[in-house]
Amino acid sequence: MKTVNKGLILGVLLGLWSGVAAAQTIRIANNNANAPTGDNVFSTLQAALDMAEVGDIIHVIGSPSSYGNVTVRKLLHIFGIGYNPDKDLPEHSLVGAITLTTGTGTDASGTHIEGLVLSGNTHITQAISDITIRKCFFSNVMIKEDNVGKSNIVITDNIFIPLNVNLSIDLNWTGNDNIIVRNNVFVYSAVQLHNALVANNVFTTGAQAIGVFNSSNTIFANNIFFRMQPVDTGSVAHCIYNNNLAIGSMDDTLPTVDAPMGTNTGQGNINNAILSPTVIDPVNFFVNYPELGDTNWDDSYDLELHLSNPGIGAGIDGSDLGIFGGEDPFNNVVNLPIIQILNTAASIKEGNDLPTTVGVQAN
């Protein structure tokens, strides 16, 4: 009998990805047993990052083992498989902490990170700019900075779950410019920002907490605060709240043009004090989400708006409030081909054909 090395089959199938960017080299980080080998295949993510040239693509193959903490010192495009991949045996691309910083004659400005499951903080150091972080799952960790101005940071389509310190994004240095946080889910976690746009997010929890701290010069638009207080009145100032919906917290008050709250202003907001409880019904608020929210996340949850939700069509642009509205509705599918099904015989007689079933989704 002859044993079949499935790692070799996966190595062949990785060629399906080679057309993603013909002008860039694709490096593979794969720490699985029996992983294919080659000049551009590395058993650690840090080795792939170090060997890559500016502008290269890094594929982080799903694995039961974490790739650990890594440092990025040049512009790279880093793709994992996503946090809810539509495939057989969906292992995640597990990474610890990521530090975006400077190297010798280079820095991490322009880096794109997508589809990772992170268990450590993502730290943007020094004057790093033009960073995109999307379709990642942050477990008890946050995106943070040092006290140097950052610009053009885009954070979209991510899920942030509970933190011991109740904070998921800490980008509130006064030198920041053009921070965009949109179409994310924040579960029992908060943000603190300066010079930012926060749009079409859902802040939710099973406990009554606060979603926004220590923020200034920031626009909050088209967001939903479900059992999360939308403003910490002691630390949020010079912000604009337009067309947000708040329900079920200790204080659902939102600024309006007629009644500005402190130095925060806004208009078009909806809260439980304005509409009767029969209009805002937590039981029929989202398509599938617990009435009292949750302090964790389940992939069966569906935050599309129920037909009775007053946030339907209530956005500034006429789209729905929450993650499925706005110019870039929530989408957790990583834009790379994916091997959904791979069935082969465990062993065959030498000289016999290998029966194989492969299912691929182009995405």
pLDDT tens figures, 112-164 = 999 999 999 999 999 999 999 999 999 989 999 999 999 999 999 999 998 76
Q: Residue 18: which pLDDT band, with cuts at 50, 70 and 90?
A: very low
Q: Chain-centre distance of CA 155, in angstroms?
A: 7
> What pLDDT, on the 0 to 100 scale, is given for residue 4?
37
**Do the beta carbons of residue 71 and residue 46 sit within 8 Å?**
yes
Q: Where are the alpha helices (DSSP H) in the chain?
A: 6-13, 45-51
Residue with tokens 């608020």: 285
Copy the structure tokens of residue 191.
Answer: 């943000």
> What pLDDT, on the 0 to 100 scale, is given for residue 138?
96
pTM assigned to the model: 0.86
Residues in the chain: 363
Look over the chain and give the mean of its residue pLDDT values, rounded to a whole number: 85
> What pLDDT, on the 0 to 100 scale, is given for residue 45?
98
> What pLDDT, on the 0 to 100 scale, is given for residue 87?
60
**Do the beta carbons of residue 34 and residue 5 sit within 8 Å?**
yes
> What's the chain's Rg over C-alpha atoms?
22
Copy the structure tokens of residue 143.
Answer: 């995106």
> What pLDDT, on the 0 to 100 scale, is given for residue 278?
65
> What pLDDT, on the 0 to 100 scale, is given for residue 205?
87
Q: Residue 250: which pLDDT band, with cuts at 50, 70 and 90?
A: confident
Q: Which residues pair with 248 in a beta bridge?
A: none
b/e sequence 115-140, b meaning 16+ C-beta within 10 Å? bbbbbbbbbbbbebbbbbbbbbbbbb
How do beta strands 265-267 and 286-288 pair?
Answer: unpaired
The pLDDT tens digits of the residues spanning 301-351 come to 999 999 989 999 999 999 999 999 999 999 998 875 544 334 444 555 566
How do beta strands 94-95 and 77-79 pair?
Answer: unpaired
Torsion of CA 118, 121, 127, 130, to 10 degrees: 20
Predicted confidence (pLDDT) at residue 241 exceeds the cutoff of 50: yes
